[in-house]
């Protein structure tokens, strides 16, 4: 493995961990000797990586340092391209544009033989395109999520019964056929899931939920039994 790739693999291994990891375990994972591992850690520290470590403690990467994104593997490029092209089909215009821009930025810094994986993909994204109702609701839902504000909308359930809801948004699930909002519903006093294609008159309320979105996400995961 070229040294640049080995250093990137080491950075990725450290990023995946929030707690210190012993050098021997890290060397075994990367398939290098302990001596090589410590030499590579020294190289990264010389480039500004905030890696802390001592005997019996292990190594840990403090947040805030990133190597330039110039050495994605071919599989990583394919995964990014597949995900971005799926987003282009299933998301709103803003996210679709962001996906295209991200691929363009990645392609600009890749070596030609790896950039070709973007131009001539072997993995193609399928699935239906977002409908008009979803396309109209999603940007407003994303705005509420990003600003941590309440959301109001008229909702029709699967029986066609209508109601007006005020919710505390948690997250949007992108499924093959539908986009689903997980939120705390003030009317039902509990977590509920709303299909975006059944939402109308979606509007952000300039009022913060009583709980931060991160806390709501933890509560939702615990309620739904979702790992994360």
Which of the residue ranges 23-37, 152-166, 185-199 would you say has the lowest mean pLDDT? 23-37
**Beta partners for residue 172, in sequence order:** 181
Indicate the average pLDDT of the chain: 85
* Predicted pLDDT at 46: 83
For residue 216, pLDDT beyond 90 = yes
Compute the average pLDDT of residues 201-216: 95
pTM as predicted = 0.63
Say which CATH architecture domain 3-61 belongs to: Orthogonal Bundle (1.10)
For residue 126, pLDDT beyond 90 = no
Say which CATH architecture domain 132-224 belongs to: Roll (2.30)
pLDDT digit string (tens) for 38-90?
A: 898 888 888 778 888 776 778 888 866 555 544 677 788 888 888 888 888 88
- Per DSSP, the residues of 99-129 read HHHHHHHHHHHS-HHHHHHHHS-SS---SPP
For residue 116, pLDDT beyond 80 = no
Compute the average pLDDT of residues 98-126: 77
Which of the residue ranges 37-41, 63-67, 113-117, 208-212 would you say has the lowest mean pLDDT? 63-67
- Residues contacting residue 225 through CB under 8 Å, at least 6 positions apart: none
Domain positions in the chain: 3-61, 74-119, 132-224
Compute the average pLDDT of residues 92-101: 88
């Amino acid at each position: 493995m070229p040294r640049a790739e080995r250093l990137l693999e080491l950075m990725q291994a450290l990023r995946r961990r929030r707690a210190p990891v012993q050098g021997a375990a890290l060397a075994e994972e990367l398939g290098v000797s302990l001596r090589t591992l410590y030499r590579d850690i020294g190289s990264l520290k010389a480039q500004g990586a905030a890696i802390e470590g001592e005997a019996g403690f292990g190594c840990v990467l403090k947040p805030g340092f990133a190597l330039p994104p110039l050495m994605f593997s071919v599989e990583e490029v394919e995964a990014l391209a597949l995900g971005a092209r799926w987003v282009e089909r299933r998301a709103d215009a803003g996210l679709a544009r962001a996906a295209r821009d991200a691929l363009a930025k990645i392609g600009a810094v890749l070596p030609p033989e790896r950039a070709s994986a973007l131009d001539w993909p072997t993995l193609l994204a399928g699935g239906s395109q977002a409908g008009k109702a979803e396309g109209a609701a999603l940007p407003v839902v994303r705005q509420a999520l990003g600003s941590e504000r309440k959301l109001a909308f008229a909702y029709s359930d699967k029986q066609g019964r209508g109601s007006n809801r005020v919710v505390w948004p948690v997250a949007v699930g992108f499924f093959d056929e539908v986009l689903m909002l997980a939120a705390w519903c003030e009317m039902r006093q509990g977590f509920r899931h709303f299909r975006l294609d059944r939402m109308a008159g979606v509007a952000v309320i300039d009022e913060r939920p009583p709980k931060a979105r991160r806390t709501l996400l933890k509560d939702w995961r615990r309620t739904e039994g979702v790992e994360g």
